[in-house]
Chains A and B, each alone.
Chain A
Amino acid sequence: MELQQFKYDNKITKYFIIATVIFGLVGMLVGLLIATQLVFPEMNMGLQYTSFGRLRPLHTNAIIFAFVGNAMFAGVYYSMQRLLKTRMFSDMLSWIHFWGWQLIILAAAITLPLGLTSSKEYAELEWPIDIAITLIWIVFGINMIGTILKRRERHMYVAIWFYIATFVTVAVLHVVNSFAIPVDFFKSYSWYAGVQDALVQWWYGHNAVAFFLTTPFLGLMYYYLPKAANRPVYSYKLSIIHFWSLIFIYIWAGPHHLLYTSLPDWAQSLGVVFSVMLIAPSWGGMLNGLLTLRGAWDRVREDPVLKFMVVAVTAYGMSTLEGPLLSIKSINAIAHFTDWIIAHVHIGGLGWNGFMIFGMLYWLIPKMWGTKLHSTKLANVHFWLGTLGIIVYALPLYAAGVTQSLMWKDFDAEGFLEYPNFLQTVTQIIPMYMMRAIGGLLYLSGAIIMTYNLIKTASSGYFIANEDAEAPALEKKKIVGGHWHSAWERKPVFFTVLVLVAILIGGIVEMVPTFLIDSNIKTIETVQPYTPLELHGRDLYIKEGCVSCHTQMVRPFRSETERYRGEYSKAGEFVYDHPFLWGSKRTGPDLHRIGGRYNDAWHYSHMYDPQITSKGSIMPPYPWLFTQSIDPEKTAGKIRALRKVGVPYPEGYEDTANEELKAQAQKIVASLKADGIEASEGAEIIALIAYLQRLGTDIKVETAQK
């Protein structure tokens, strides 16, 4: 058989690695900064661009899409060429992919601090960037499928399956969740409202974890772990079962992010059942990874690559056991909205993704530069700093989560809340926040040492940009027979379609009934669309990222209806919420029943400096809301866009809306004046107060009527 000569493209891997390291350091640094802000609010630096609410999405996006994303592409481009015995399908597509992705990251780094956000977690970027992501993702997909089609290896190794699943599923998730109607170039409203928006968002959010942070990394594990250990994966049979069961089950589990919310009960239960089932494939994968090292454990003592990978796979196992447990309703009742969840995701992020990346980089760079690692000793220092960093990060947050949650739920002997002031439960856990920041600092220090070590390694070698390779051509003759699965693997396009079917079923079964059945969302007659001024206020709430720290979802617990002095949140209250703003974390109290609880002057002072009304609060001041004005020109566009997604504003309402806006603003200014505060009508703070005072009050109108 004729041997064909060709070259592997290492240069594209090199560039993705450089981006990984740079954005990794940046993402971690932003993380450290916002962790510090939770202890010292002064670290918000009095600037709107550096306030916690705007930087938090920058941190999550930088880590997920820039650090982990670039690492994924580096790992995929390297392993795919070798597993398929061919160069990538098109060098041009590879480079469009690379530079396109970096431009998207740049756009995110500019728009998020400016407060241009959709507010949907891990999907914050506004619609023009969403379209760019879609296009670049398709470029990646074409390049990948093209490479598979021109391969010289008949069978696709299991890592490739995981890459295919990643491409297909992320494409579906991103497109469905990003449906929105633009108001202008920088602003849009989600196509979905309230409960439906929440369901779509967490179907996306959960599966972004599954198919951006997990499946590609399982593919990388199945390639780089055997490489580093120099032995085949423990059980290839297990990897087949692992793949199909994981991609099928994962997609159903999203609703576990919405337990005890206004989501219909059946959807919550479905999410719980599938989440618990997920333990099986996840642990199958973890054991398959760890058992690959059977008989080679002595090497784990010496080889930093294996050290990192062992901890990574262990962290994968821990967080995939923890996740299902957190999905059980009784555990979720304690953990949800607390720092426990932050600890959980960081076991995954720092442990699984981070350590897998570090292991991969320590293996790849000496290989691609044809040299040895500059210093094994420094790599070991990195390993221990990182490991300690994870522990010092996570343990205090577990303690903080449980402590705070139990304080929220604590009643005294007379049946009153033991800690009626939310702030008491915050000041209690500040020492834990401090330790968390130290954990983050340790982890970041390790990454800096790695960067130095890798640069030294590269400079001691010579970069092999185009690596010679040879393989026999794939014969065109039709192979008949073989088992059906091995036949499928030979048909990559068919295989891709099967993957698509597997992941669509879960999403459709969950979402169709929620959109279809009227009884899922009980209509509440008194619930009305927002007034124009409240709309402006709501958009400011979105812009400032208030949703990062405040929920709008009073769960049906006595401890919550008591604390938030109102009924628990009903699905029908959110029918005009494009997007929903339920939030996922209570660093501050829930705000769904905040309307009418304090007077306008209280909100005015509180936003100017939270210390005035709440001594010891860790919320930063928002002085710019008092000097910046809302733009009434935008009112009409907002109303038109919302009407398109189904909010029943009457025709022509946009023409008179600004008069109504002005009247409502004057009322608030007058009420402030009665309390001795001079405020200007157009100031952003007035709109924000209008929105906050409206929150959760519609349902009270109904109660009053009865």
Chain B
Amino acid sequence: MFKHYFEQVHNVAIWPIISLSIFFVFFLGLMIYVWKIKKSYVDQMGEMPLKDDSPEIRTHSINLNNH
């Protein structure tokens, strides 16, 4: 069943080599990107979870802390 389709693919062995190359290049690119990434951007992204409280919850936490 599956065989039938894959047999139509010429030179099937080339695909793993291509995928390896793609990902090697991808990772290389990723490392370079991460290396060169701007500090301000990284800081902004890292802060994201800490800056999402709604006003309601914030007031509430402040009240709790004052208790």
- A interface residues with partner B (beta carbon < 8 Å): 8, 79, 82-83, 85, 153, 155, 157-159, 222-223, 226-227, 230-233, 236-237, 240-241, 244-245, 248, 367, 370, 372, 464, 467-470, 483-486, 502, 505, 508-509, 512-513, 515-516, 646
B64 lies within 8 A of chain A by Cβ = yes
**Cβ contact within 8 Å between B49 and A8:** no
**In the complex, which residues 32-53 of chain B have their Cβ closer than 8 Å to any Cβ of chain A?**
33-34, 36-37, 41-50, 52-53
**Cβ contact within 8 Å between A223 and B54:** no
**In the complex, which residues 14-44 of chain B have their Cβ closer than 8 Å to any Cβ of chain A?**
15-16, 19, 22-23, 26-27, 29-31, 33-34, 36-37, 41-44
From B30, B46, B53, B54, give the contact of A232 (CB < 8 A): B46
In the bound assembly, the distance between CA atoms of A508 and B13 in angstroms comes to 12
Given A232-B47, A232-B50, A236-B45, the answer on whether A470 and B55 have CB atoms closer than 8 Å is: yes
**Cβ contact within 8 Å between A248 and B50:** no
**Cβ contact within 8 Å between A237 and B42:** yes
Nearest-CB residue, chain B, relative to A504? B19
Residues of the A chain whose Cβ atoms lie less than 8 Å from the Cβ of B2: 515-516
Residues of the B chain whose Cβ atoms lie less than 8 Å from the Cβ of A241: 30-31, 34
**Cβ contact within 8 Å between B27 and A159:** no
What are 23 A-B pairs with beta-carbon distances under 8 A?
A83-B48, A153-B48, A157-B45, A222-B49, A226-B49, A226-B50, A231-B50, A232-B43, A232-B50, A233-B49, A236-B42, A236-B46, A241-B31, A244-B27, A464-B56, A468-B54, A483-B33, A483-B37, A484-B33, A485-B33, A505-B23, A512-B15, A515-B6
Residues of the B chain whose Cβ atoms lie less than 8 Å from the Cβ of A509: 15-16, 19
Residues of the B chain whose Cβ atoms lie less than 8 Å from the Cβ of A244: 26-27, 30
In the bound assembly, the distance between CA atoms of A508 and B15 in angstroms comes to 10
**Cβ contact within 8 Å between A158 and B45:** yes
**Cβ contact within 8 Å between A157 and B49:** yes
B3 lies within 8 A of chain A by Cβ = yes
From B27, B53, B60, give the contact of A245 (CB < 8 A): B27
Residues of the B chain whose Cβ atoms lie less than 8 Å from the Cβ of A79: 49
| Interchain nearest-CB distance for A271 vs B (Å) | 14
**Cβ contact within 8 Å between A159 and B49:** yes
| Interchain nearest-CB distance for B42 vs A (Å) | 5
Instruction: Find the residue from B12, B15, B30, B48 having the highest chain A CB count within 10 A.
Output: B48
Nearest-CB residue, chain A, relative to B46? A232
B62 lies within 8 A of chain A by Cβ = no
**A-B interface, 5 closest residue pairs, ranked by CB to CB distance from nearest:** A232-B46, A82-B52, A469-B54, A236-B46, A515-B2
In the bound assembly, the distance between CA atoms of A646 and B3 in angstroms comes to 13
Nearest-CB residue, chain B, relative to A85? B52
Nearest-CB residue, chain B, relative to A370? B60
Chain A binding surface, main DSSP class: helix
Given A233-B46, A646-B1, the answer on whether A468 and B52 have CB atoms closer than 8 Å is: no
| Interchain nearest-CB distance for B61 vs A (Å) | 9
Residues of the B chain whose Cβ atoms lie less than 8 Å from the Cβ of A227: 49-50
| Interchain nearest-CB distance for A154 vs B (Å) | 10
In the bound assembly, the distance between CA atoms of A232 and B48 in angstroms comes to 8
**Cβ contact within 8 Å between A157 and B48:** yes
Residues of the B chain whose Cβ atoms lie less than 8 Å from the Cβ of A155: 44-45, 48
Residues of the B chain whose Cβ atoms lie less than 8 Å from the Cβ of A237: 34, 37, 42
**Cβ contact within 8 Å between B54 and A486:** no
From B1, B23, B31, B50, give the contact of A230 (CB < 8 A): B50
In the bound assembly, the distance between CA atoms of A483 and B46 in angstroms comes to 17
Residues of the A chain whose Cβ atoms lie less than 8 Å from the Cβ of B48: 83, 153, 155, 157
**Cβ contact within 8 Å between A83 and B33:** no
Residues of the A chain whose Cβ atoms lie less than 8 Å from the Cβ of B47: 232
Given A237-B42, A513-B12, the answer on whether A483 and B36 have CB atoms closer than 8 Å is: yes
In the bound assembly, the distance between CA atoms of A157 and B43 in angstroms comes to 12
5 other A-B residue contacts (CB within 8 Å) besides A159-B49, A248-B23, A484-B29: A157-B45, A227-B50, A237-B34, A469-B54, A509-B15
Nearest-CB residue, chain B, relative to A232? B46
Nearest-CB residue, chain B, relative to A249? B23
Nearest-CB residue, chain B, relative to A470? B55
Nearest-CB residue, chain B, relative to A509? B16
**Cβ contact within 8 Å between B19 and A223:** no
**Cβ contact within 8 Å between B23 and A486:** no
**Cβ contact within 8 Å between A240 and B49:** no
Nearest-CB residue, chain A, relative to B13? A513
Residues of the A chain whose Cβ atoms lie less than 8 Å from the Cβ of B49: 79, 82-83, 157, 159, 222-223, 226-227, 232-233
Residues of the B chain whose Cβ atoms lie less than 8 Å from the Cβ of A248: 23
**Cβ contact within 8 Å between A367 and B57:** yes
Residues of the A chain whose Cβ atoms lie less than 8 Å from the Cβ of B29: 484
Residues of the A chain whose Cβ atoms lie less than 8 Å from the Cβ of B37: 237, 483, 485
In the bound assembly, the distance between CA atoms of A244 and B53 in angstroms comes to 29
Given A244-B30, A516-B2, the answer on whether A468 and B45 have CB atoms closer than 8 Å is: no
Nearest-CB residue, chain A, relative to B18? A505
| Interchain nearest-CB distance for B53 vs A (Å) | 8
| Interchain nearest-CB distance for A646 vs B (Å) | 7
